[in-house]
Structure formats: C-alpha cells, structure tokens
Structure 1
C-alpha cells in the first residue's frame, strides 16, 4: 500500500467528464471570458499607470487589486482551456500544489486588498488632515506588499503541511486543485490534524479581515450621515468598494455553502459554475464597477476612446 501511495505523481480532474460533448462551446465561452478579464483589468492598470493624475493611494491600490485578479485567473484559465481540448484531464503533483497555492492566495489577497482599501477610505474621509502623512508613499508600498506577501505565506504554509501527507487517491472531483480536497485524499486522517488547525487559523485571519472591513464602513456611514460633502465622497468612492466586497463574499460563500450543504444530486455543470464563479464574476465586475463609478478613471477612459474614434 505504501508503495502505491508513493507512486502518485499526477492527479486526475473529473469535473468535466460528463460535458465533453459540449467542449468546443465551453472552450469558446471560457476563452471569451478570459479575454474579457484580461481586457478590462489591463485597461484599468494601464490607465492608472500612464496617467500621473491617478498616482494617488486609492488608484494605486485599485491597480494592485486588478493585478491580483490577473494573477489568480492566470492560475486557472490556461490550464482549464487546455483541459477542454484534451481527452484526459490530468495535472502533475507539483502543478496541482502550485495551482492551489495561486488560487487560494489570490482569493485571500483580494480580501486583504479590500481591507486596505477600506482603511484608506476611512483615513480619507474620517481623518482628512492626516491623510498625506498616514497614506505616505512608503506606507502605501508596505501595505501593497503585505497584501500580497501575507496571503502567499499563509497559503504556502498550508500547502507545505499538505505536501507531507501520504495520499491514497489521485482523483479530484473538481475543475482545479484545492487544498482541502487534497487533504481529504490523505490515507491516514490522523495526520491531517495539523492541517485542520492551520486551516482554522487561516479562516480566523481572513474572517477578521471581513470584520475589520464591516467595522470600517459602519464607522464611515456614521461619519458621513451628517455631512453632505462626506456623503458625496462616500457615494463616489466607497460604494465601488462595497460592491466589490459584496460580490467577493457572495461568490466565496456560495461555493462554501455548496461544498458544506450542497446536494449530490445537483447537475455537475451547476457545481462547476459555483466552483469557478469567484474566478469569473469579481475579476470582470470590479474593473467595470470602478471604471464607471470613479470619476477620474471614467473621464480618462472617455478621453482615450474619444481620441481613438475621432
């Protein structure tokens, strides 16, 4: 048995097996979706990077937020598109761990950026006189680096703990690799205790991020209620953050609830969509929300497209 366990070098992804008759349609739709994600995120990144008037903390954080979307979706779509055209859906042992690391750190990174963006709005509206000193260039760089580095390290630790487990099955009933599914393949459940503890610590860390974001916006709303100017600032700059947060939480919680309470009788296509919606909806919606809602970005984009069409 131990020899068989040590021989596992690839994983089989079984999420697509019942829909291969429609693989070319799925390939086209997935490719179109990925191209839209690349287009809207890169457009926003380039717009902010090239326009010096947008080199402010709020827009720099938004730029990093979009970069994180590109990072996460690149961990999924190229492999998924390849699987749609391949008769066998396999991924190497190391490739599976790398994909899980990228997707998990992307999701946690999104929440970290939303927390930092909520903090930036809190300082801008509630402590405007201290804004320049609090959100200095040096601190902004630190916040961006921490928002990427901590999720990467936290998820790296989880993946390292998973890599020590002896696995008894190479079959993953999903479109992509996930840490908790790999842990579930362990031959000896007793060995997963440390993994479970690490998972709970990770959950606590990122639930605390969510609590901080909610507290920040509750405080912001209380501050803005009695001021017309602050209400205008809130509607202009905070509403996009709230929409991004709601979109993120909806997609993540929907998947978690499906994993925890979902019926086994649900169609595989529906399960697949729930599993990947956090890689589709937020990366598309966030740039569109900010692009249409934030005045400076909207005006800059209008200028660019007007010049190109004239």
Structure 2
C-alpha cells in the first residue's frame, strides 16, 4: 500500500502587502518587544530578590509577568522574522503551536487576574485571617490551578482542532470559562469591595484603595 503525506504551508498575506513599510514596522516591533522583555525581567528579579515582596499579590504578579513573556514571545519573534527575511510562509504545525500558546496566554491572564481579585477580596473582608487563609501552600495552589486550567483547555482545543469538528463548540465554552466568567467574577468582587469601602472612613478608604489599585491597573491594561 502506498502512503503519501501532505505538507500544509500557510502564507501570511498581510505582511506581504506592507511593502517598504516593513522596515519601519520591524523597528517598532523590535523596540517594543525588547523593552517589554527587559522591563518584565527587571520586575521579576525585583520580586525574587526583595524578600519584602514575597507576598501573595506579588507572587501572583510574578506569574502573570512570566505568562506575558511567554505569550509575547510566541508571536512577535515570528512577526519580526517574517518582516526581516520576507519569508511569509509558516507550517501548519507551527501555526497550531502558536495558537496553543496564545490561547493559554489569554486564559492564564484572566485566571490569574481572578486569583488576584480573590486575594484582594480576602484581604479586605477578612484582614485578621488573611495570612491564615493565604498561606504559602494556598498561594502555590492558586498559582498552579490558575495556570494549569488554561493549559489543559489549550491542549483539549488543539486536540479537537486536529481530530474533531466540535472544536468551535469547545472554543465557545473555553472563551466563556476562561474569559467571560473570570471577568464577571472580578467585577463582582470589586462591586463587593466598593460596597465596603463606601462605609469606611476617609483614611481607611484611601488605604484600602491603595491596596487594590495595582490589581485594578493591571486588569484595565490587560
């Protein structure tokens, strides 16, 4: 029996049509990418080396930054390679892997932001029990769960993309569970936090807002 294999090659038409603007776009992408990597590594080193920052919120932030580095590295180096080499093609397997990593990146962003919202929720509503609840073991468990769920979902989606016609249905479910639901939980957490803040004194309100503002800024940026 004769066996034959089919090699699928993808062409990125968008970059092919850019013409001479490729060089300018390459410089912009390269500068932003390198600056973001340097800034991310600097923040991670600061959190790692400064024992005063070995707290739940900063550990969650560390995980979020690592995820951001992985996500951006899955996309921008390929874009820069296309821009500088004029090679507008890519393998199907490479496209699937890139899709997998970006899918996990997006999922991890929202799950870790939800974990950070839970951390602030506990800090505001149970301040005396905060460190009894957010133990190092609990923090590591939350980091593991927050990163493992999107990875499992990404593997399942890639498998279904290769094997079944139900990948679109799964994609809708994954989008809801890893995108819409986390955003809803984050908003719900902050609505409850705001309801408590409104009953506080001006000084307590200021301190409480200061503890929540870093997470809010990250959530808005993401």
Fold in common (TM above 0.5): yes
Deviation above 3 Å: which 4+ runs of structure 1? none
TM-score of the pair, normalised by structure 2: 0.92
User: 2:136, 2:210 → 1: CA distance?
Assistant: 23
User: 2:124, 2:63 → 1: CA distance?
Assistant: 22
Q: The residue matched to 2:10 in structure 1 has which SS? A: strand
Change (3 A) 1:36 1:213: same
Partner of 1:224: 197
Matches within 5 A, 1:78-93: 78-93=77-92
1:241 aligns with 2:220: no
Partner of 2:154: 155
User: 2:19, 2:133 → 1: CA distance?
Assistant: 54
> How many angstroms does 1:230 deviate by?
4.0
Q: The residue matched to 1:20 in structure 2 has which SS? A: coil
1:198 aligns with 2:197: no
> How many angstroms does 1:92 deviate by?
1.5
Partner of 1:13: 12
Q: The residue matched to 1:16 in structure 2 has which SS? A: helix
RMSD value, Cα: 1.7
> How many angstroms does 1:8 deviate by?
3.7
User: 2:85, 2:211 → 1: CA distance?
Assistant: 45
Q: The residue matched to 1:19 in structure 2 has which SS? A: coil
User: 2:204, 2:194 → 1: CA distance?
Assistant: 9
User: 2:51, 2:87 → 1: CA distance?
Assistant: 49
> How many angstroms does 1:203 deviate by?
2.0
User: 1:140, 1:225 → 2: CA distance?
Assistant: 29
Q: Deviations over 1:205-258 (max 9, x none)?
A: 12111111000000011111122354223321212222222232xxxxxxxxxx
Q: Is the 8 A contact 1:125 1:230 kept in 2?
A: no
Q: Is the 8 A contact 1:75 1:102 kept in 2?
A: yes
Q: Is the 8 A contact 2:160 2:167 kept in 1?
A: yes
Partner of 2:62: 63
Q: Deviations over 1:156-191 (max 9, x none)?
A: 1111111126xxxxxxxxxxxxxxxxxxxxxxxxxx
Q: Deviations over 1:103-162 (max 9, x none)?
A: 111011111111000000011111111111211101100111111111111021111111
TM-score of the pair, normalised by structure 1: 0.67
User: 1:155, 1:117 → 2: CA distance?
Assistant: 22
User: 1:113, 1:230 → 2: CA distance?
Assistant: 27
Q: Is the 8 A contact 2:122 2:130 kept in 1?
A: yes
1:211 aligns with 2:189: no
Unpaired stretches in structure 1, ≥5 consecutive residues: 166-191, 249-310
Q: The residue matched to 1:47 in structure 2 has which SS? A: helix
